[in-house]
Structure 1
Amino acid sequence: MTLVLEEGKDVELKQNGTYAIVAITKHGVTLARSLYANFHQTDLFYMSKFEKGDEAKRNISLFEGNVRMLLPSLFQHYKGIIMIISLGAVVRMIAPLLKDKKTDPAVVVIDDKGKHVISVLSGHLGGANELTKEVAELLKATPVITTASDVQKTIPVDLFGSRFGWVWESAEKLTPVSASVVNEEQVAVIQESGEKDWWNYDKPLPETINVYSTIKEAIETNPKAALVVTHRNLTEDEDVILQNGVLYRPKVIVLGIGCNRGTSKEEIEQVIQETLDELQFSMKSVKAICSIDLKKDEEGILAVVQKYNWDFTCYSAEELNRVEIELPSNTVYKFTGAYGVSEPAARLYSGADTLEITKKKSGNVTISVAVIPY
């Protein structure tokens, strides 16, 4: 299809991919077509005057008018935009569209000869740096990345643990903590839970970054900044570490759940929240709910896992009965064929030898809590 780009008019896109490739010159179109053929999950846009005749067959979109008019729609619909246009022109065109690094798409620029691939916008959170590396590898080009943590091969504070699903408690201190890391000030990493293999580089940690197993130990060294990885809520004494620190929530909490048929979402959610509050654990560190396969269609549980985007795993009675548990129940066996539901399910999923709560009954809900050991 041919898009006619006019001032003040929205552009309707026929979107198939996750990334958009845009070209406006003869050489750029040749390069863009080659990249489009080899880079999956992309849509290609170029000027109609360079039409080759196979665009409809290959789902390529042509446009007429100023490419600047196309960008608002691309920003809204695509995770990343690859532009074979001069860097200066791209900067001028995207400037009015920028909102927030948490929501802006990745923007990557390629020169007309395909010699350099440049990460321009949303390098970390938007994934432009990784996109730059992938495109450069396909084109046998030189990737250009200027993000300090990437260049120095140190911890990217805003992406720390993201590949494991870790989330920040607050983004307030991301910038000053990042500054401490790249300026090689003394930084403490305190890790109480979560995956241990977060250091990706084939060199030791910088001497300015030290790892501690407790917050108390780290506080005694008086670091300039801190990265704290834990599933639990900090005490008032420990909170001082966050004066220039970021708190990360690893996905390590597993909830074994049993309930009466028809138990409401609200009751299940309330029991979960009350139980985590009792343990002083963060809801943001919950990874999964697990139960017996009789509950795989339990509407209350399904609503909760959908709300929080948690994993939901169900086991057969035979699988649950293979697990040695502390509190077997003949009553539960009578109704389910298993001597327990919440306790063995939590043990199976987490792989933990001991549970934080073995089994607690509250109203229509039975809950067990485990923390995945790493």
Structure 2
Amino acid sequence: MRVMVIALSRRGYPVGREAARACAGRGRVEEVRLCVPAAALDKDEEATGDLPATVRLEPLPADLPALIAQAFTNRQALVMVMAVGIAVRLVAPHLRSKTTDPAVVVIDEVGRQAVSLVSGHLGGANELAGFLAASLGAQAVITTASDLHRVKPLDVVLARSGITPEPHRALAGFMGRLLDGGRLWLAVEEGLEAYTGWARDFPQIEVVTGEGTVPPAPEPLMLLTCRRSAAHLQARRSAPTLYLHPRCLAAGVGCRRGVTATEVREAVLAALEAGQYSPLSLAALHTLEAKLAEAGLVEAGRALGVPVRGFSPAQLQSCLERHPELTRSARVQARMGVEGVCEPASLLGAQGAKLLVPKMIVGRVTVALGAEFAGRPALAACLSSVSAQEG
């Protein structure tokens, strides 16, 4: 994590300095950029020398809006030692989404309150405000409803479980229903039962699998699935539907030398499209370890938001021997020392569970999809029951 601390006034510099020191000592923090008025540096030269090595101290630039823009671009947390009203006006033009905005915490210049202002849950501002309050002897000010009512925030629980909601904007309505004590239904794609442990944190959520009972038509429904959103179903439902995508799909990728990120990305998306799977359920790209040197492959993983992992030729060949049904290529054997890459890589990445989409050739890329679950990848029973109710 990279943090920026801004002390707007010389009076607030001591608080900003201690906040930066506390952040530097926190786990997972790589660097803290501490920006303070130049006058404070001139007056307190001795105090600046005892800061941790990970704190970069610099004078506050004249263009403060540009500095805030930098924080929203390349920092995961922003600590502002100033009045809340000033902080609100500074960050407002840069707010985009709770899923991407950094955590913003505001501390008054005498260190009495640490206010979680932006991205309290997913960004971690609530947690950071509590940490800074404890470090400075201040009071944390948390205003998110779930924290006030002692209900776990659904967005954080899902994120920590590796599950992505779609559409994210619908999440607030489902969380509101939990806060009001309402009942929610979670229909689970067969084989994904292992991804439902998080639901135990919410007594109002009823989990149904396979041919279990689905909710009445007016009831909000959550679908745990690796499939793309069923737009036709949503159009026929009179209540919101929230799709929950676990990271359970492994893409095996083979490629020619010099392949571009665009080529790899388009090939992976084509495989997902062929199986009607959601990109939000993609967990990683897997390939031959020698291919980890391909910049285009690594960049494609970054663009898709997933890691890229490699297997040795011996590991891939061993997988091929265990699975005689997989595709083999004498040409690949001659060039890479193994009879195939994408299919065994996808199975190894998915821990050998199931091959969903066999080898596809898309330009200079080969790709296959495996899944970390057993059973048929469909919500046929649940979806047909819902469609029958809506029809």
Do structure 1's residue 42 and structure 2's residue 15 form an aligned pair? no
Deviation at 1:351, TM superposition (A): 0.8
Do structure 1's residue 327 and structure 2's residue 325 form an aligned pair? yes
Give the 5 Å matches for 1:1-374: 18-22=3-7, 24=9, 26=11, 28-40=12-24, 41-47=31-37, 50=40, 51-54=43-46, 57=49, 59-62=56-59, 71-78=64-71, 79=75, 80-85=77-82, 89-95=83-89, 97-99=91-93, 100=95, 102=97, 105-111=102-108, 114-163=111-160, 166-192=163-189, 193=192, 195-198=195-198, 205-213=201-209, 217=212, 219-222=214-217, 224-235=219-230, 238-239=233-234, 240=236, 243-261=239-257, 268-298=264-294, 301-302=297-298, 304-323=300-319, 324-327=322-325, 329=328, 331=330, 332-360=332-360, 365-373=365-373
Q: Distance in 2 between matches of 1:197 and 1:268?
A: 34
Q: Distance in 2 between matches of 1:121 and 1:350?
A: 36
Q: Distance in 1 between matches of 2:363 and 2:14?
A: 66
Report the secondary structure of 1:355's partner residue: strand
Task: Name the TM-score, length of structure 1 as normaliser.
Answer: 0.75
Task: Indicate if the aligned counterparts of 1:71 and 1:94 stay in contact, CA closer than 8 A.
Answer: no
Identity of aligned residues (%): 24
Q: 1:128 to 1:326 in 2, by over 3 A?
A: same
Deviation at 1:62, TM superposition (A): 4.7
How far does the alpha carbon of each residue in 1:150-173 deviate from its partner, in whole angstroms, 9 at most, with x for none?
A: 233435344452245543433342
Report the secondary structure of 1:19's partner residue: strand
Name the amino acid aligned to 1:317: P
Q: 1:333 to 1:195 in 2, by over 3 A?
A: same
Q: How many aligned positions are there?
A: 346
Report the secondary structure of 2:207's partner residue: strand
Q: 1:158 to 1:101 in 2, by over 3 A?
A: farther
Name the amino acid aligned to 2:286: C
RMSD: 3.6
Q: Distance in 2 between matches of 1:107 and 1:264?
A: 37
Q: Distance in 2 between matches of 1:243 and 1:71?
A: 45
Deviation at 1:128, TM superposition (A): 1.6
> Which moved further from structure 2: 116-125 or 316-325?
116-125
Task: Indicate if the aligned counterparts of 1:189 and 1:226 stay in contact, CA closer than 8 A.
Answer: yes
Task: Indicate if the aligned counterparts of 2:250 and 2:349 stay in contact, CA closer than 8 A.
Answer: yes
Q: Distance in 2 between matches of 1:151 and 1:220?
A: 29
Deviation at 1:132, TM superposition (A): 0.8
Deviation at 1:36, TM superposition (A): 2.4
Name the amino acid aligned to 2:249: I
Q: Distance in 2 between matches of 1:251 and 1:217?
A: 24
Deviation at 1:147, TM superposition (A): 0.3
Q: 1:367 to 1:120 in 2, by over 3 A?
A: closer
How far does the alpha carbon of each residue in 1:18-45 deviate from its partner, in whole angstroms, 9 at most, with x for none?
A: 221426364x433333332232133334
Name the amino acid aligned to 1:122: S
Report the secondary structure of 2:168's partner residue: coil
Task: Indicate if the aligned counterparts of 2:245 and 2:281 stay in contact, CA closer than 8 A.
Answer: yes
Q: Distance in 1 between matches of 2:231 and 2:65?
A: 46
Q: 1:180 to 1:218 in 2, by over 3 A?
A: farther
How far does the alpha carbon of each residue in 1:209-261 deviate from its partner, in whole angstroms, 9 at most, with x for none?
A: 223336x7464355743443321024466435694233233322111123455
Deviation at 1:303, TM superposition (A): 5.1
Q: Distance in 2 between matches of 1:369 and 1:185?
A: 38
Task: Name the TM-score, length of structure 2 as normaliser.
Answer: 0.73
Q: Distance in 1 between matches of 2:116 and 2:282?
A: 34
Task: Indicate if the aligned counterparts of 2:80 and 2:87 stay in contact, CA closer than 8 A.
Answer: no
- Give unpaired runs (5+ residues) of structure 1: 1-15
Task: Indicate if the aligned counterparts of 1:342 and 1:367 stay in contact, CA closer than 8 A.
Answer: yes
Task: Indicate if the aligned counterparts of 2:113 and 2:133 stay in contact, CA closer than 8 A.
Answer: yes
Name the amino acid aligned to 2:244: Y
Name the amino acid aligned to 1:213: T
- Give unpaired runs (5+ residues) of structure 2: 25-30, 375-391
Deviation at 1:101, TM superposition (A): 5.2
Q: Which structure has the higher relative contact order (CA within 8 Å, separation 6+)?
A: 2
Deviation at 1:148, TM superposition (A): 0.9
Q: Distance in 1 between matches of 2:102 and 2:153?
A: 19
Report the secondary structure of 2:314's partner residue: helix
Deviation at 1:181, TM superposition (A): 2.5
Deviation at 1:178, TM superposition (A): 3.0
